[in-house]
Structure 1
Amino acid sequence: MLTRDTARFLASARDCAPDFGPATARAAFLVAPDGFGRAEESATDNRYMADAEGFDAARASAQHRGLQRALSEVLPTICFPGDPGAPDALFPNNVFATAPGILVVGRMRHPVRQREAGRTDIRGFFRDVLGYAMRDLSEQLHPCELTGALVVDRARGIGLCGLSERCDEAGARLMHEALGLRATLMFDLAPGEYHTNVVLAVLAGRAAIICPAGIADPAVVEAIATLYAPHAVLLSKDEQSAFAGNAISLSGDAVWMSARAARALAPSSRAALAAAGFGVRAVPLDAIEAAGGSLRCCVAEIY
């Protein structure tokens, strides 16, 4: 089921048992920030991006290596080289997503990022090394920036898809079908928001971090909070601006976010995460955040 009707979605999603698949990934991959800099095309609809003088490529590279080291303590984490001609290619989860045995390749809105979808090394790794089948959405016309636009509850097979310039309704349907989801809710992001995963995260299928200011319709916020009650953590605008919504769980006991995001967490938010069984693990990523994304954006999950 793919719908904009929050009541219909909620009725269906409540009946989805947590038997769709593993709640968290078995591995992850990153793409190094080689050629890191301000991508002017991406900046046209990413208000979180810093001005050109705010980019520090060397610091971003060091922080990215630190991220890989930290994540590798929890699950296998590999890193592909970056492309100096693709300055914001360090956010591969927008381009590549997986389901068990399947690699999905998305269609990016901006040409500067569309070239990432053609990478033969990443495609070859999944096809020839892991033996995954491929569902290639990169050549069709509708933007569908995968787990940037679509937040997925992997345990129950539920999708939460925020629509913007980077994902339209047709793109949402393509992603819903490619990942074989049971129920997906489509909704509009608030004006000025570009990706759902900056304002929403589902943690190991049992909790949600929600930034109400990032979602256009309060009824959508209420529906998602109801679905994950009592473990729906509603963040303030200040927490959202610090990328606290751009978080991910890679195990059942921790939520990962940037050090900036962790510092911004209100005591009540941290307590709510603890009540849901999640400790907060943080990595310094301020240089990377100049590109308008944070920790979750850097992590492409392997299921």
Structure 2
Amino acid sequence: MADHGTVTIRSEKLTARIAPLGAELVSLTDADGRELMSSGDPAYWTGRAPLLFPIVGRVRDDRYRVGGQEYALPQHGFARRMEFALVEHGPANALFRLVDTPETRANYPFAFQLDMAFALDGAELAMMATITNPGDVPLPASFGYHPAFAWPLPYGAARADHRITFERDEPAAICAITDDALIAAERLPSPVVGRDLPLHDALFEKDALVWDDLASRRLRYGASTGKALDISFPDTPWLGIWTKPGAPFVCVEPWAGMADPAGFSGELMDKPGIFTLAPGTGRSFRMNVALVED
């Protein structure tokens, strides 16, 4: 893909390109130039790896409350639509930063700093988001990753041969999603057989698969043999996996936060999945993606 203002970092095994708009990873290619990310085809979804902040998913009616006052936020928040400043850039690393503005405070009345760091080391991309509270009141927030990886990966295996293999058995039921993209009260049987989730379009006919009781913090995505992606997310307790049926990508989305439960009308501080940072404190969320071969 053309650069179009993107920031490029390289190792001997990988090249990553990050757009300052949203600090979004828009390309990850191997040493032979083969693309591991979605192409952003507008026929399906233009996103490639948006950052989800200060909320993950939707709040009910796209409205939420702080101190009895109502505010509006779009699905997944505003960070993905904002320009980040490039703070550091080396051959294999880059650091981007987003801070609050009068515009953000109109819809999210808090001071914040969101740093997004990328670093390549051999065949591994390390990403770390750090949210800091520079203000003088508690900062309520959620954070999530939303990268869309090529399905199939560019190594010759058929789309139907791709699977997610978790590091641990995942027998727990998963969340049901309402028609307005909230978390339903009921739960659905786990689609995982032991540790394996064979990927097929029917899984996603009713939206994403969402785990709120996840044992694993690592998984492998790809065909059963050949090159695959080893993905770790040690700091996020929930996971979404999503695509649009027929699309040439699958999203692996580690989350610290999720959509409102259906019918929720409480304060943002009381919303499930919200964490709170005291003034002067921060919290980091890591996601590493390594190209591996059995």
TM-score by length of 2: 0.29
Structure whose residues are more often strand by fraction: 2
Structure whose residues are more often helix by fraction: 1
TM-score by length of 1: 0.29
Bigger-Rg structure (1/2): 2
